[in-house]
Chains A and B, each alone.
Chain A
């Protein structure tokens, strides 16, 4: 693997549900240590793209490569063990388990054959998101923002090289969003993680991401720096509608 091999590479991915085309010829990549934002109007196909990467859906066409290796036919639990961890738009922490137990699930099962002390890994992941104090609370009793942070800790405990974030800011208030931004920056800064981040809070994306990919109706309409993205007429049309005259 050369230094320029992307961590994740999507090559002409198409996905249909019956007659409905949800993704059409999507090609994109995330490089080592890069944070890429993925935005688009509701129903653009962002979550479907995540589900294709994590092998919950098999694409009709195209392939996904992780560090140059084809992922076609890999079962979802092995995707995580290879080094792709994710969070969920609708939070899916294990409610009957404590925060620490949630993180331990990632540390024990999510890391494949990577060695190390699972307790130390769990401690570190909890500390990274600032939940050390709350680690023995059963998740059912935690706030939404704490659960969202916990999902990130659980994903970090899998020691991934690629982190997929599915709207980690959804439902959070301003101060919680600030905290989340700090956590994401730290995860990248301290771990050198690559991050692919779906978000509706476009301003947050524009502040942190190295690159932004925009999809609309299942097609990629823009791929560039935040500055390039905001001046792209296709993007403006997708979000605001076509100009009248």
Chain B
């Protein structure tokens, strides 16, 4: 394939990698937040993103609501659903120190949602076709897909909003305090159920935003969510667990790795290579690639 390689193609591979990676990143940010306070990998995150995508699809086909406009409905609905799911399913399990119960509930939730979606909408892939789906934007001699560009904007905006929330608001500071040391936070008056519910609410809201981004750019089916969660997990490992900006950067890095390896090696190897990178990072830099070495007190 080297004879096809040009600077323009290289740039296009890079841009596409970043565009897809931004979606991995936003999924990883959700994982990072929930892991922060709950200490579990919320494996259903990818499936919730797919549920968000179906919701967008449904609003579009049945209600005729523009996918980007549906952000205004999907994100708040997901936020409330996240808090509700925590209260209904995880509240009891979160209080016990053994985290396996919470993890198993997440696995159960994933299968339940997957199969419900498959029953409701059939396992066949769905996609949303709007007037602007095929639209391209010319930037520096590159033709970029408008919807992918929008997906990247959504991912960046969502992550930015989370960072501002965590850094600037008092509730955000409480979430950070609880992520660092739940026991100390609790003994300073922070209600663990409140911060867990907030982490879930934001995690779901991010999944809603990612659902819009996904639904407008790629075909999706009910079972794609698990793979998506695994990719988000790789992004999380690359960026360093518990680091929100790192999670997004990890997602971008993974997108690039996949994009380059699909071209330079082969499409079939892209997944094997990204999981290989995952293992190498865990073996040699378990704190993440983008974290300055952590000093433990």
Contact = CB atoms under 8 A, between A and B. Distances in A.
Of the candidates A85, A105, A109, A111, the one having the most CB atoms from chain B within 10 angstroms of its own CB is A109
Contacts of A80: 186-189
Interface in A187-209: none
Interface string A89-115: 011101111000110111011111000
Contacts of B186: 76-77, 80
A80 B183 CA distance: 12
B173 A101 contact: yes
A158 B189 contact: yes
B181 interface: yes
Interface in B148-193: 170, 173-174, 176-177, 180-181, 183-192
A83 B189 CA distance: 10
B4 to A, nearest CB: 47
Given A77-B186, A80-B187, A95 B180 contact: yes
A105 B181 contact: no
A168 B176 CA distance: 24
Interface residues of B, number: 19
A58 B154 CA distance: 47
A54 interface: yes
A77 B192 contact: yes
A81 interface: yes
A106 B173 contact: no
Contacts of B173: 97, 101, 104-105
Contacts of B184: 88, 92, 94
B186 to A, nearest CB: 5
Contacts, number: 75
Interface residues of A, number: 34
A56 B183 contact: yes
A96 B188 contact: no
A104 B187 contact: no
A77 B190 contact: yes
B117 to A, nearest CB: 37
Contact of A77 (B170, B180, B191, B295): B191
A77 B170 CA distance: 17
Interface in A97-141: 97, 101-102, 104-106, 108-112, 140
Contacts of A79: 187
A86 interface: yes
Nearest to A82: B189
A154 interface: yes
A88 B192 CA distance: 19
Given A77-B192, A112-B189, A94 B177 contact: yes
A64 to B, nearest CB: 15
B196 to A, nearest CB: 12
A155 B187 CA distance: 9
A86 B187 contact: yes
Interface string B194-209: 0000000000000000
Contact of A105 (B177, B192, B295): B177
Contacts of B62: none
14 contacts: A75-B191, A76-B186, A80-B189, A92-B181, A92-B184, A94-B176, A94-B185, A105-B177, A105-B185, A105-B190, A108-B174, A110-B188, A111-B189, A112-B189
Given A85-B188, A90-B297, A94-B180, 19 more contacts: A54-B187, A75-B191, A77-B186, A79-B187, A80-B186, A85-B187, A86-B187, A88-B184, A92-B181, A92-B184, A94-B181, A97-B180, A102-B177, A104-B173, A105-B190, A106-B188, A109-B189, A109-B191, A111-B189
